[in-house]
Amino acid sequence: MGTISTHENTCTAFAGSKMIASGDLRHVAQLTKKTIDGGEREFVLIFDDMTAQPIEIDFRGTTKDVIARIDERNNKYPSQSANQSVNQSPSQSANLSQSSQPKSDEASRGPGRPKLGVVAREVTLLPRHWDWLNSQPGGASVALRKLVDDARHANADKDTIRQSQEAAYRFMSAMAGNLPGFEESARALFAGNETKFRELTGEWPEDIGRYAQKLASAALHQRS
């Protein structure tokens, strides 16, 4: 089952094979509620435009009730706080906190400079990895951030392609799994064959084909 989105990404709603709304979640919810109240009999699905993950909304009651529940859910589960305690294994927590956090945080800030938002998470490494990280300028935290940033930049294109492929395939599986050419279009998607992909999805119901092409566009354009 999907969940209420808590970020600012847009979404798109379908009733059967017809797109009924697109935009921010509250806007889509209002138009979808109106469609349902108008007697729509087709099954309604709402997809996140970034990931194509399904978004679940409770449409009981009035439109005001629907929006209130969305706002309540978003307020109840806000974005993760930037200040969290470190959760590490006892054997490594002292090394990381003493050798990297105070030095990197305090040394990098000048007078009046605000703290950077930092999210602490558990990282499990072998002792030799921690030894190397703690020996780097600024300590383990600074070294890890640099390694992650370098990897992100190096793999940016690959990540874009993968995320676009996954989103398109997720939507296609949900909405076009029984349509002619589904398997062939999936192969074209992962092979980066834009011409074949557009040809096959163009034979589907218009809104489904167009949305699948939109989700896949980043992957196909990167490959071309």
What sign for the dihedral angle of Cα 105, 116, 89, 140?
Answer: negative
- pLDDT over 60 at 83, yes or no: no
What sign for the dihedral angle of Cα 202, 204, 205, 211?
Answer: negative
Of the pLDDT bands very low, low, confident and very high (cuts 50, 70, 90), residue 222 is low
Question: Do 97 and 89 form a contact (C-beta atoms < 8 A)?
Answer: no
- Whole-number pLDDT of residue 115: 57
Of 174, 198, 175, the C-alpha closest to 185 is 198
Of the pLDDT bands very low, low, confident and very high (cuts 50, 70, 90), residue 223 is low
- pLDDT over 60 at 173, yes or no: yes
Per-residue pLDDT tens for 174-208? 999 999 999 999 999 999 999 999 999 999 999 99
Lowest mean per-residue pLDDT among 96-100, 194-198, 213-217: 96-100
- Whole-number pLDDT of residue 76: 73
**Phi, psi dihedral angles at 14 (to 5 degrees):** -125, 140
- pLDDT over 50 at 7, yes or no: no
Of the pLDDT bands very low, low, confident and very high (cuts 50, 70, 90), residue 142 is confident
Across the range 136-164, mean pLDDT stands at 81
Of the pLDDT bands very low, low, confident and very high (cuts 50, 70, 90), residue 38 is very high
Across the range 83-93, mean pLDDT stands at 36
- Whole-number pLDDT of residue 56: 95
Rounded-to-integer distance, Cα 155 and Cα 168, Å = 20
Ordered by start, the domain boundaries in the chain are 11-76, 90-144, 156-223
Quote the pTM value: 0.65
Rounded-to-integer distance, Cα 212 and Cα 196, Å = 13
DSSP string, 29-73: HHHHHHHHHTT--SPEEEEETTT--B------S-HHHHHHHHHHH
